Amino acid sequence: MGWYFSLLLPCLIFSQLGQAVTLEKMLEWWFIPMNVVLGSISGSIIGFIVASIVRPPYPFFKFSIIQIGIGNIGNVPLVLIAALCRDTSNPFGDSEKCSTDGTAYISFGQWVGAIILYTYVFNMLAPPPEGTFYIEDANLPLKSPAKDAPLEQVPLLLQEDAPEELDALKRGKIKQFLVFLHFKLNLKQILQPPIIASILAICIILGEAMIPCILLALGGNLIDGPGSSKLGFRTTAAIIFGRLVLVPPVGLGIVTLADKLGFLPAGDKMFKFVLLLQHTMPTSVLSGAVANLRGCGREAAAVLFWVHIFATISMAGWIVLYLNLLF
């Protein structure tokens, strides 16, 4: 799971930004990343309040905050914009311009979302001092049996500490490999334009594979069913209610205030609509990927399962409200 987070996510961000964003647009759209940051802060505050009231089982307090505070600002909004703009009678006008602008606005918010995932979310989902989220299921370290122990008491697998010499050997091999790359390979000949273009094309392909791979990995955690989570009904319901019902009104207030203060491009209703969508989405799939990486993937998969089911209802209601307010 780690290589999805370390390799495919940067490729996804690169491929989307490269197709949609220029320096001039970055200066004009400055409030989009700010909106993502404000949404994460306000959502985390709501998550803290909800978690303080519900008191999720230990050690899932910070986990509950993240599941409420971090929304899906990428693939779900892109699907919604594509579906909305495909209709020739959409309220935003020309279908092609609608799709192009909407995709560009959403893509521009991805880079700050990635920073939040790599820093805030990754640290908030750190395992507890016990070293695992499943404390009662943690295996005790196996000790080497006595020399005269009966054969039936000897474990098949023994857990032993790796010798320091092995770590030193690994570091030596890595150093030798780097020296080989530096002195033996002619990087100027390797980094020719055709090769660079091929590398960029591979990045785009890997970026397209990000979401399907993560969904497959998270789905694998539901092998025992969505009810196998240790969160319980009360905590799961509170996360769903907090993310889908409590967060969007606060986001509506943030976007409305920003519009009153003149922070948004005048007359660009798609711009404002995308900002509102960023506060309305279900829990981030990528935060589930981080949770899986940190050892609580089963709970993250269960939350994503239920929150996306109920989001089909809540998103429809909020989108109808937003369109009525905009038009």
Residue 216, helix vs strand vs coil: helix
Q: Which residue has the tokens 């905050």?
A: 65
Q: Per residue in 236-247, is it b (16+ CB within 10 Å) or e — as a string?
A: bebbbbbbbebb
Q: Give the number of other CB atoms < 10 A from CB of residue 298.
A: 23
Tokens of 165: 């010499």
CA distances for 252 relative to 8, 33, 41, 273, angstroms: 32, 16, 14, 10
pLDDT at 109: 85
Per-residue pLDDT of the chain in tens (327 residues, 90 and over written 9): 555 555 555 665 565 555 556 677 778 889 999 999 999 999 999 999 999 999 998 889 999 999 999 998 877 888 888 888 888 888 888 888 888 888 888 888 888 888 898 899 999 998 888 777 776 655 544 444 555 555 555 554 444 444 455 555 656 666 666 566 555 555 555 555 555 555 655 655 555 565 566 566 556 655 655 666 788 899 999 999 999 999 999 999 999 999 999 999 888 899 999 999 999 999 988 888 788 888 888 888 889 889 989 999 999 999 999 999 998
pLDDT at 286: 81
In this prediction the pTM is: 0.74
Helix 297-326 vs helix 269-278: angle between axes, to the nearest 10 degrees? 150
Q: In 3D, which of 274, 287, 276 has the Cα closest to residue 247?
A: 276
Report the phi/psi class of residue 57: left, alpha or beta, with left for phi > 0 and alpha for psi in -120 to 50: beta
Q: In 3D, which of 225, 231, 210 has the Cα closest to residue 67?
A: 231
Residues recorded for the chain: 327
**Phi and psi, residue 169, nearest 5°:** -65, -40
Give 255-259's long-range contacts (Cβ < 8 A, gap of 24+).
255/35, 255/279, 258/31, 258/35
CA distances for 66 relative to 44, 218, 301, 326, angstroms: 7, 17, 13, 30
pLDDT at 172: 66
